[in-house]
Amino acid sequence: MVRLISADGTQLGILPLQEALRVARDEGLDLVEVSPKSDPPVCRIMDFGKFKYQASKKIQEARKKSKAFQMKEVKLRPNTEEHDLAFKVRNILKFLDKKHRVKVTVIFRGRDMEAGYRLLDRVAEEVAEKGAVEQGPKQDARNTVSMILVPRS
């Protein structure tokens, strides 16, 4: 026994399963179990292929509307020249305007580690108006230090 709902949404009552299948076949549609845990189980007459297609379209539309944030990366060296640093800071500001997260990485050679931390602090100060530090400077590998900036709301 199943509770049967027609294609237009009206309840047809509680019928034996074979009868429900016959009604669905007569309409040229599928019998789909909607709520198996209820007593009796609820079945609906529908075009299952069309239902699956519409469900996938809803998911696709929701994905399109949700904005995925990208992670951009800007790489620096401790002794980067002023002009080059200004250029990279402008790029970071552009990325933050577009609501991207930015990972700023400083790559070292030898004993430049302390200069790298100072450089990251300076970059954070220069972009403070449009971006906030999500993750402060930390050592990633033996010769790199990075921090992550996020756009201010």
Q: Give the rounded percent of residues in the chain with a pLDDT score beyond 70.
A: 97
Confidence of residue 136 (pLDDT cuts 50, 70, 90): confident
User: Distances from the Cα of 133 to the Cαs of 17, 25, 49, 91, in angstroms?
Assistant: 62, 62, 48, 16
Q: Could you tell me how far CA 129 lies from the centroid of its own chain?
A: 26
Instruction: Give pLDDT tens digits for 80-104.
Output: 899 999 999 999 999 989 888 899 9
Contact, 124 vs 92, CB < 8 A? no
Residue 30 has pLDDT above 70, yes or no: yes
The mean per-residue pLDDT over the stretch 16-38 comes to 90
| 1-4 contacts, C-beta under 8 A, 24 or more apart | 1/40, 2/33, 2/40, 2/41, 2/42, 2/43, 3/38, 3/40, 3/41, 3/42, 3/43, 4/43, 4/44, 4/45
Sort 115 into a burial class: Cβ within 10 Å, 0-12 / 13-18 / 19+.
middle
Contact, 41 vs 3, CB < 8 A? yes
Residue 148 C-beta-side C-alpha neighbours within 13 Å:
9
* Total-model pTM: 0.51
Under DSSP, the state recorded for 117 is H
Residue 110 has pLDDT above 80, yes or no: no
Residue 7 has pLDDT above 90, yes or no: no
18-22, 83-87, 108-112 — which is least confidently predicted?
A: 108-112
Look at 64 and 51; give whichever has higher pLDDT. Answer: 51
* Domains recognised in the chain with CATH numbers: 2-63 (3.10.20.80), 71-151 (3.30.110.10)
Provide the mean pLDDT of the chain.
87
- Distance between CA atoms of 130 and 132, rounded to whole angstroms? 7
For residue 23, what are the contacts with CB-CB under 8 A and spacing of at least 6?
4, 12, 15, 45
Query: Is-cis flag, bond preceding 40, omega within 30?
Result: yes
Instruction: Give pLDDT tens digits for 62-85.
Output: 887 766 667 899 999 888 899 999
pLDDT at 89: 93
Bridge partners of 146?
A: 105, 138
